[in-house]
Amino acid sequence: MSIAPAIVDNLGGHRVLVIGDLMIDEYLRGDVHRVSPEAPVPVLDLKATEHRLGGAANTAANLQHLGAIVTVIGVVGDDDGARILTAALARAGITSHTCADGDRPTTRKTRLVAGGHQIARIDAERRTPIAGAIALAVVAAIQAETATADAVVISDYAKGVITPAIAAAAIAAARARGVPVIVDPKQRDFGVYAGATVITPNLVELERASGSAVGTLAEIDGAVGRLAAALGGAALLVTRGADGMTLYRDGARGPHVPATAREVFDVTGAGDTVVATLTLALSAGISLEDAMVLASLAAGISVSRRGTSTVGPDELRDAIRAGR
């Protein structure tokens, strides 16, 4: 499948609603020169603290960097993490509707980094599904914001925001307006996302959902076939790492796009980049097949960098030219 650089010109200006698990990616950077006398662990001499948008917020950042007008809906705690996250979203030009839940922390993944290498990670999170007034507030926000969206993303990181009821409300609201719904899945039951336009599992997520091995293409075919009846017509775009990505419709294998990365430094956030690029392309009326090509190119750029990152329109154009 060949596309022209001019296709990127169609991506800007579309309104995208992102619903899901908002996170902070925190990096504590420094040097290690000694081992602690208290335990056999390295002592990090802290030099800098960096915060990046993570999870659904990273998907939103990727969309915004590609030229979308982005709104996010999610849940935060009543804590300093919420203030860091909302301020970072505002700086990125992303509108946020965050519901504060005092019973959970704002999801934060803290990475300790020395000499460019991660030596530990600390996760602050609560995975309990949202309920009650918080869930009702999220549904109300979804119904209000979908009214002006050109596409909807369900960014599920299994931190409790995307319950079956929330997913159903988002998909129903989008379908009522005839706009695409793209799902980055974490549920074991993909039937939760029935009726979406496309679901984008990686191999681990596909194996978990199907309950069968997916080490070969034939096994992937079989796994998708077993899931097809529960998807309500949703396509599956299986992202296969170094083997690229393969599209399935109604359980049948369709187009395949090879991976484009020449060097892989860090796969953190690459799935968010794929989802963001795919979504924006579909919101612009670009075919799913061409959207796959753009998403593969964007992923190749993303994994060539360290940490979560975004990809811009000029980089996509350059990648298209380089591959022709």
Question: Using an 8 Å Cβ cutoff, are 191 and 164 in contact?
Answer: no
Look up the domain containing 312 and give its range: 5-23+53-107+126-323
pLDDT given for residue 302 in this prediction: 74
Number of structural domains the chain divides into: 1
In a domain, residue 120? The reply is no
Digit-coded pLDDT (tens) for 240-270 = 988 999 999 999 999 999 887 555 444 455 7
Q: How far apart are CA 88 and CA 53, in angstroms?
A: 7
The percent of residues in the chain predicted with pLDDT above 70, rounded, is: 94
pLDDT tens column, 155-202: 999 999 999 999 999 999 999 999 999 999 999 999 999 999 999 999
User: What Cα–Cα distance (Å) separates residue 131 from each residue in 79, 119, 164, 167?
Assistant: 20, 36, 11, 13
Residues facing residue 99 across a β-bridge: 75
Assigned token pair, 223: 């796994």
83 lies in a domain? yes
More confident residue, 306 or 226: 226
The CATH number of the domain holding residue 316 is: 3.40.1190.20
pLDDT at residue 324 in the model: 53
Catalytic sites, residue numbers: 272
More confident residue, 97 or 264: 97
Q: What per-residue confidence (pLDDT) applies to 2?
A: 73
- More confident: 141 or 311: 141
Q: Is residue 115, in this structure, part of any structural domain at all? A: no
- How much of the chain, in percent, has pLDDT values that exceed 90? 79
* Average pLDDT score, the chain: 92
In a domain, 14, yes or no: yes
Is 239 contained in some domain? yes
Instruction: Write down the pTM of the prediction.
Output: 0.91
Convert the pLDDT of each residue in 210-229 to its tens digit. Answer: 999 999 999 999 999 999 99
In a domain, 307, yes or no: yes
Angle separating helix axes 288-302 and 313-323, nearest 10 degrees: 100
Q: What is the pLDDT of residue 265?
A: 45
Q: How far apart are the first and last CA of the chain?
A: 10
The verdict on residue 119 lying in a domain is no
Among the ranges given (57-66, 73-82, 127-136, 252-261), the one the predictor scored with the smallest mean pLDDT: 252-261
Task: Say if 42 falls within a structural domain.
Answer: no
